[in-house]
Structure 1
Amino acid sequence: MCGIVGLFLKNPGLYPKLGFHLAAMLGVMSDRGPDSAGFAVYGSSQADHVKLTLRAASAVEIREAVADLGKAGAGDLDSVFHDTHAVVSVPLAREQEVRLLIARDSRVTLAGVGARMELFKEVGLPEQVAKRFELSGMSGTHGIGHTRMATESAVTTRGAHPFSTGKDQCLVHNGSLSNHCGVRRFLSREGLTFETDNDSEVAAGFLTWRMQQGASLEQALTDSLADLDGFFTFVVGTESGFAVLRDPISCKPAVMAETDDYVAFGSEYRALAVLPNAGRARVFEPEPARVYAWELR
């Protein structure tokens, strides 16, 4: 089942409303995935800094953990707290040092890393998850989200989407990959590490691996058609844009809408109907095995 949403804003005037619209889209998709949800927002960046999104079991624990990181040598961290998550801005020169300190703290998981990407996910109804993280107040250029109905694994925060395996890169997935164990073993030998047994994390890892080899996002997605076996719809976020790909069979529902102001993706049209001027948008179903990508100008 599961539900996917994505929103790429062409009109800078809408940037302050990115989170508001993404939250509305996630809420509509609640019945496709009522057990957990997550989203990634691409907002502002700071020169020579990187954002580390951390998560813990509770709002109290994440604050304690960040404070302890400072005492352990990370110093006075520039942190913004959202319920069980914290976005910590770190100078690039100190990134590896701080990441080593994070790895030593069993209370904390590194959810995402990037110049612009902030990534949040939790167990619960999507509408409630969005409220907990105050998504409606977030601004940015684009974002993707996912509502999960766990059919092959437990309902956990770790199993929720998006999955991020590279800087400023994340993926949400609807479908199932039949060969993910073999691909995981290959990618592990190539140096990638995985947090879960979820096939979607393998898909994210495959794209990261190809892009590390020099492939563009479009080429990496095209390569996934040959190397990832199963049925799937991927929506991928990067620092500069987002992309959509359906497998050659395309048995999972997908619809897109484009106006002069935005491009939007939804597992169902009703997720797009909440957007401004949706009635005048060019609405279309993404073709099988074709990469659709939009980049910031």
Structure 2
Amino acid sequence: MCGIVGLFLKRPELEPELGTHLSRMLATMSARGPDSAGFAVYGSGTAGKVKLTVSAAAAADLEAGLADLGAHLEEPLAPQYHETHAVVSVPEGKLAEARRMVEGDERLSLVGVGTRMELYKEVGLPEKVAERFGLSDMHGTHGVGHTRMATESAVTTRGAHPFSTSLDECLVHNGSLSNHNALRRMLSREGIRFSTENDTEVAAGYLTWRLQQGASLKEALEASLKDLDGFYTFVVGTENGFAVLRDPISCKPAVMAETDDYVAFGSEYRALAGLPGVDKARVFEPKPATVYAWERQ
């Protein structure tokens, strides 16, 4: 049992409110997953630059590792620190080298990469995790969050959701996949890299693989209905929007609300109950085996 939340804002003037709403939604889902939490926020980006969200067990390791990275790249990184995580921007042309440096540094862990996406996750109560990272002060067009009750892998920072296996893409999941080990082996042969034993990371990697083959996000999610065994609800964040998919059985709870201002997702309605205007929203349960997607241009 885990909790998922997602919020997609339709109007630019609402973007300063994203973090406030998302943090409240995340805290409301604490009872569904008290061991760890995480979220991805899609905020502003800089032309020609890519953001790396990096974490470390100790603040000194994070600062030293990023200092070494900046010296190697000969770039002023100006890290933005958020507790155990930091966000740095590097030129697109130096992204591959930056990734190699971070992934090869035993002090550091690469959490996510995106032109607009920043990704944070940590062990602890969801409300406390949101407070530690300052989620309520973050602005953006959309975001997704997850509260975890671990069932298939260890309670660690890396094991928390969301998982990201490609630029600006992340995935949160409520449920369990039965064939994730076989899929992990197949995807590894195709060049998809994994850092945990979590089945959700395999689902994210599967979508990455399909997208690399030229599929649209909708097509990738539809293909997952055939290739992924188990029961699941996915909420996927992308650079321009987010998507929702439930498996054909749909035994995991899910509810959505849509107004002229936003689209919101929650594992339970109480995650949406505090949103402005939700009393006038179109509230519905997403259908099984059906892709729902929204984008802003």
Q: 1:118-159 CA distances to partner (integer Å, 9 max, x unpaired)?
A: 000000000000000000000000000000001222211111
- Whole-angstrom distance in 2 between the partners of 1:233 and 1:104: 33
Code of the residue aligned with 1:255 in structure 2: it is: V
SS at match of 2:45: coil
**Counterpart residue number, 1:246:** 246
Q: TM-score, normalised by structure 2?
A: 0.98
- Whole-angstrom distance in 2 between the partners of 1:73 and 1:80: 18
Give the drift of 1:26: 0.1
**Counterpart residue number, 2:131:** 131
Q: Give the alignment of 1:141-180 within 5 angstroms.
A: 141-180=141-180
Q: TM-score, normalised by structure 1?
A: 0.98
- Whole-angstrom distance in 2 between the partners of 1:13 and 1:205: 34
Contact 1:74 1:98 in 2 (8 A): no
Give the drift of 1:73: 4.2
**Counterpart residue number, 1:185:** 185
- Whole-angstrom distance in 2 between the partners of 1:46 and 1:54: 18
**Counterpart residue number, 1:101:** 101
SS at match of 1:145: strand
Give the drift of 1:222: 0.2
**Counterpart residue number, 1:65:** 65
Aligned: 1:23 with 2:26: no
- Whole-angstrom distance in 1 between the partners of 2:156 and 2:38: 12
Contact 1:74 1:101 in 2 (8 A): no
Code of the residue aligned with 2:285 in structure 1: it is: E
- Whole-angstrom distance in 2 between the partners of 1:60 and 1:213: 41
Q: 1:168-208 CA distances to partner (integer Å, 9 max, x unpaired)?
A: 00000000000011111110111111001111000000000
**Counterpart residue number, 2:14:** 14
Give the drift of 1:97: 1.9
SS at match of 1:293: strand
User: Residue 74 and residue 161 in structure 1: after superposition, are their counterparts in 2 closer, same or farther (change >3 A)?
Assistant: farther
- Whole-angstrom distance in 1 between the partners of 2:164 and 2:74: 23
Contact 1:78 1:90 in 2 (8 A): no
**Counterpart residue number, 1:260:** 260
SS at match of 1:188: helix
Q: How many residues align?
A: 297
- Whole-angstrom distance in 2 between the partners of 1:235 and 1:120: 16
- Whole-angstrom distance in 1 between the partners of 2:176 and 2:234: 11
User: Residue 59 and residue 274 in structure 1: after superposition, are their counterparts in 2 closer, same or farther (change >3 A)?
Assistant: farther
- Whole-angstrom distance in 1 between the partners of 2:100 and 2:219: 33
Give the drift of 1:65: 1.8
Q: Give the alignment of 1:47-62 within 5 angstroms.
A: 47-62=47-62
Q: 1:78-107 CA distances to partner (integer Å, 9 max, x unpaired)?
A: 321111111110011111222222122101
SS at match of 2:79: strand
- Whole-angstrom distance in 2 between the partners of 1:24 and 1:156: 23
- Whole-angstrom distance in 2 between the partners of 1:32 and 1:130: 16
Code of the residue aligned with 1:10 in structure 2: it is: K
SS at match of 2:88: strand
Code of the residue aligned with 2:15 in structure 1: it is: Y
Code of the residue aligned with 1:176 in structure 2: it is: S
- Whole-angstrom distance in 2 between the partners of 1:44 and 1:74: 24
- Whole-angstrom distance in 2 between the partners of 1:275 and 1:59: 35
Code of the residue aligned with 1:150 in structure 2: it is: A
- Whole-angstrom distance in 2 between the partners of 1:285 and 1:73: 48
Q: 1:4-44 CA distances to partner (integer Å, 9 max, x unpaired)?
A: 00000002111011111100000000010000000000001
Contact 2:73 2:94 in 1 (8 A): no
- Whole-angstrom distance in 2 between the partners of 1:214 and 1:100: 25
CA root-mean-square deviation:
1.0
Which runs of 5 or more residues in structure 1 are unaligned? none
Give the drift of 1:75: 3.2
- Whole-angstrom distance in 1 between the partners of 2:92 and 2:72: 19
Contact 1:58 1:83 in 2 (8 A): no
**Counterpart residue number, 1:221:** 221
